[in-house]
Amino acid sequence: MNFAKPLVAWYQANKRDFPWRETRDPYAIWLSEIMLQQTRTTAVIPYYERFLAALPTVGDLARVDEDALLRLWQGLGYYSRARNLQRAAVKIETELGGAFPNTYEGLLALPGVGPYTAGAIASIAFGQTVPAVDGNVLRVWARLRNCFDDITQTAVKARVTRELAEIMPQRAGDFNQALMELGAVVCLPIGAPRCESCPVRAFCKAFAAGTVEQLPVRTKKKPRKKERYTVFVLQNEGSFVVQKRPKTGLLASLYQLPHTVGFLTQEEIAAWLTAFGARPVGELAVYSCTHIFTHIEWEMRVVCLEVSPFTPPVGLWYDGTQGLPTAFAKCLP
Ligand code: SF4
């Protein structure tokens, strides 16, 4: 016997309740998997429910305008996920006659869907016996097998995928979710894993060898690049100036607060305001904010002030409909 049977039994008895675990609708499962890629499970729930209420079908997602789509995503970050969702929905509607792909290969051909997501949807929604291997699963696997190979290596991931495929039971969706659940609540990424309550401890070679704390092995990530900006909150009677970002790159097509590279001195701030045509009314408030993206950290010095009414040379007055990404929303007073 391998660990699949006790693992799935444990999952079925102990799984946490999430709305995406109550459906077999591939569209809803796909949405949850994309949202869960970079965001904590509990944080995803309200976004998931709001998104599905607003756009209950693939067709609705394909047709929604970009601003409305990005507002539904506002706060989740990594907005390329939302754009890829829509690109995939358009592809399903226009090239596949509205039929959601029901195979691993078909899913993999959708924009924004990689091997992990394709495996998760194929197994959970369609019962295909394909693994879904992400960082959680790799960690659990390294410990179960007492494997000291570097889990960031593509070859290691490919081997784990192959080996998992060999032991997958028929209930592939439950098996994949059980491995993820074990990684999320028992075989933890940070802090000591809860081996005392692990349903597969009897199969765990790292536990037997006393090497749990040394696993998994992964090469260190490069440190994040730091960027500094001076960000302006130009307010007039509760409104403030926003600008549309370029169509490509970080936070593409989203709104931003006017800003400039580097920390400006008092004199430079005054010169910037003059050049922008903004006339301060009263005192300036200056404070700091930081925002962390995957590879970049923004250190922001925020200059917040009331200004006389004027027409910004670039941008528009915020009227409550533009969604500001979190990096800028956190700069508001
Ligand atoms: Fe992870 Fe401990 Fe279970 Fe091994 S026994 S799989 S290290 S929680």
DSSP 203: G
CB of 188 shorter than 6 A to ligand 1: no
* pLDDT attached to residue 282: 86
The alpha carbon torsion through 149, 151, 155, 156 (nearest 10 deg) reads: 60
Nearest residue to 214 via CA among 134, 136, 150: 150
Q: Are strands 225-236 and 296-307 parallel, antiparallel or unpaired?
A: parallel
Is residue 213 part of the annotated active site? The answer reads: no
CB of 156 shorter than 6 A to ligand 1: no
| Separation between Cα atoms, residue 43 and residue 48, nearest integer Å | 9
CB of 199 shorter than 6 A to ligand 1: no
SS (H, E, C) 139-150: HHHHHHHCCCCE
Print pLDDT tens along the chain (333 aa): 689 999 999 999 999 999 999 999 999 999 999 999 888 899 999 999 999 999 999 999 999 998 899 999 988 888 889 999 999 999 999 999 999 999 999 999 999 999 999 999 999 999 999 999 999 999 999 999 999 999 999 999 999 999 999 999 999 999 999 999 999 999 998 888 999 999 999 999 999 999 999 999 998 878 899 999 999 999 998 899 999 999 888 998 889 999 999 999 999 999 999 999 999 998 899 999 999 998 899 999 999 999 999 999 998 898 776 678 989 999 998
* Ligand 1 center–CA 311 separation, angstroms: 61
Question: Does this model's pTM top 0.85?
Answer: no
* pLDDT attached to residue 241: 95
**Shortest-distance Cα residue to atom 1 of ligand 1:** 187
Nearest residue to 146 via CA among 226, 85, 216, 90: 216
* pLDDT attached to residue 1: 64
* pLDDT attached to residue 319: 78
Q: Which residues 6+ apart lie within 8 Å of 161 measured at CB?
A: 115, 131, 133
Tokens found for residue 202:
């009897």
SS (H, E, C) 3-26: CHHHHHHHHHHHCCCCHHHHCCCH
Nearest ligand 1 atom to the CA of 195 is: 2
